[in-house]
Amino acid sequence: MQIWSTGVASPRSTARVARQLEDAGWDGLLVVDSQNLSGDSYVALAMAAAATGRIGLGTGVTNSVTRHAAVTASAIVSVQRISDGRAVLGIGRGDSALAHLGRAPARLGQFDRYLRQLQAYLRGEAVAFADIDIPESVAPPMSELELHDAPPNSRIAWIAERGEKVPVEVAASGPKVIALAALHADRVMFALGADEARIAWGVELARKTREKAGLAPDGIRFGAYVNCGCDPDIDTARDLVRGALTTFARFSVMHGTPNGPVSGEDRAVLHALRDNYDMKAHTHGDSRQAGVLTPAFIDRFAIVGSPAQCVARFRGLAALGLDKLAVTGSLRGVSQVDAARSKALLEAEVLPAMRTG
């Protein structure tokens, strides 16, 4: 199972971080794409690609609103070329990137259409002009120019010239997005927490969706975003993941109804999380929303504890058929000393244990 790290898109520091992760044995780095909160993700990935030679590099995640599908495809294939085939495109319906534009996540119909177009562009195929949803109030049809000749459709010709297609990974937490991902993604990346029952539910739903559509149930890969705090002291480990866990757990109750199998106790925590969420304190461990997470909830939805406990949880997820974990550790509002110790323990004990089985 591949184990990737996640981080911010900092044009100045991502290259250094990527080198450190590569030296420490991580399989890859995913950077956020949230234009109001961090630098440009593709600039950061290009810098990281030039500074490394082994690890995978991708977005974790971009969205279907802030960039046209052709622009997204062109950007990630540029990273693919610079990195000699190490790029992946992680995408979701959007969260903080849209919130800071005054918008909620993309509608399902738009997301579905975007994924189809994105995959077409990445394969070097054409997208009909009629399928491109640029409002005429923004830009009128090209026919108004009365050109002698013009492109008949939208195609990124240079993408088809050479190289492997960039894999598309869809971040999914609700049943409808899991179903879309099962049909249009190369890998479904579950954002359901680290609870095995919830991950198993997502895997089964994706496989049944593919089977119903006449596709091979096992013809897609599965991974997950997980929050991890590694420390022998369980209270310290829990505090390390609080802020990041609020972000991921909220995806399972964003629209009011909790997704997937959930106990009554966890359902109450999810509702409290949604009711108290402050986007101005997004990812902060000392935020109002972080305070509603109970120890039992953190223990189920995150991976916390000693290195041996973390290894056991990682292996449990691998046994469900996941071949990739995107690990988010400590973000804002936590002890930097504790965060550094957690990362060191992951690299010194957890990663090697996962490599040896």
| Residue ranges of domains in the chain, CATH in brackets | 2-139+154-356 (3.20.20.30)
3-state secondary structure of 28: strand
User: 193-207, 298-312, 322-336: which has the minimum mean pLDDT?
Assistant: 322-336
In degrees and rounded to multiples of 5, residue 220 shows phi and psi of -145, 155
pLDDT of 204 over the 70 cut: yes
pLDDT of 332 over the 90 cut: no
Tokens representing residue 37 in the block: 């909160």
Residue 129 pLDDT = 96
**Is 155 within 8 Å of 125 (Cβ atoms)?**
yes
Q: Give the integer Cα–Cα distance in Å for 192 and 178.
A: 11
Tell me the pLDDT band of 218, cut-offs 50, 70 and 90: very high
Is the four-CA dihedral 313, 22, 88, 46 of positive or negative sign?
positive
Residue 222 contacts by C-beta under 8 Å, 6 or more apart in sequence? 187, 188, 189, 190, 202, 203, 206, 320, 321, 322, 323, 324
105: nearest Cα among 72, 138, 62: 62
How many C-beta atoms lie closer than 10 Å to residue 268's C-beta?
15
For residue 257, what is the DSSP state? S
Residue 80 pLDDT = 97
* Residues pairing with 172 in the sheet: 190
Percent of all residues in the chain with a pLDDT value above 90, rounded to a whole number: 91
For 108-175, give the secondary structure using H, E and C. Answer: HHHHHHHHHHHHHHHCCCCECHHHCCCCCCCCCCHHHHCCCCCCCCECCHHHHHCCCCCCEEEEECCH
pLDDT of 335 over the 90 cut: no
Which tens digits make up the pLDDT trace of 127-149? 999 999 999 999 999 999 999 99
Which tens digits make up the pLDDT trace of 160-201? 766 789 999 999 999 999 999 999 999 999 999 999 999 999
Average pLDDT, stretch 266-292?
A: 92
188: nearest Cα among 167, 200, 171: 171
Helices 175-184, 108-122: axis angle to 10 degrees equals 20
Enclosing H/E stretch for 307: helix 307-318
Tokens representing residue 141 in the block: 């049809």
pTM: 0.95
What is the separation, in whole angstroms, between the first and last Cα of the chain? 10
The dihedral formed by the CA atoms of 288, 294, 298 and 300, expressed in degrees to the nearest 10: -140
Q: Give the integer Cα–Cα distance in Å for 257 and 3.
A: 30
pLDDT of 331 over the 90 cut: no
Residue 159 pLDDT = 86
3-state secondary structure of 219: coil
Residue 286 pLDDT = 86
In degrees and rounded to multiples of 5, residue 334 shows phi and psi of -130, 165
Which tens digits make up the pLDDT trace of 25-73? 999 999 999 999 999 999 999 999 999 999 999 999 999 999 999 999 9
Tokens representing residue 146 in the block: 């009365």
Which tens digits make up the pLDDT trace of 62-109? 999 999 999 999 999 999 999 999 999 999 999 999 999 999 999 999
Indicate the average pLDDT of the chain: 95
Residue 113 pLDDT = 98
pLDDT of 357 over the 80 cut: no
324: nearest Cα among 90, 130, 109: 90
Q: Give the integer Cα–Cα distance in Å for 98 and 282.
A: 13
Tokens representing residue 162 in the block: 């050479």
How many C-beta atoms lie closer than 10 Å to residue 356's C-beta?
5
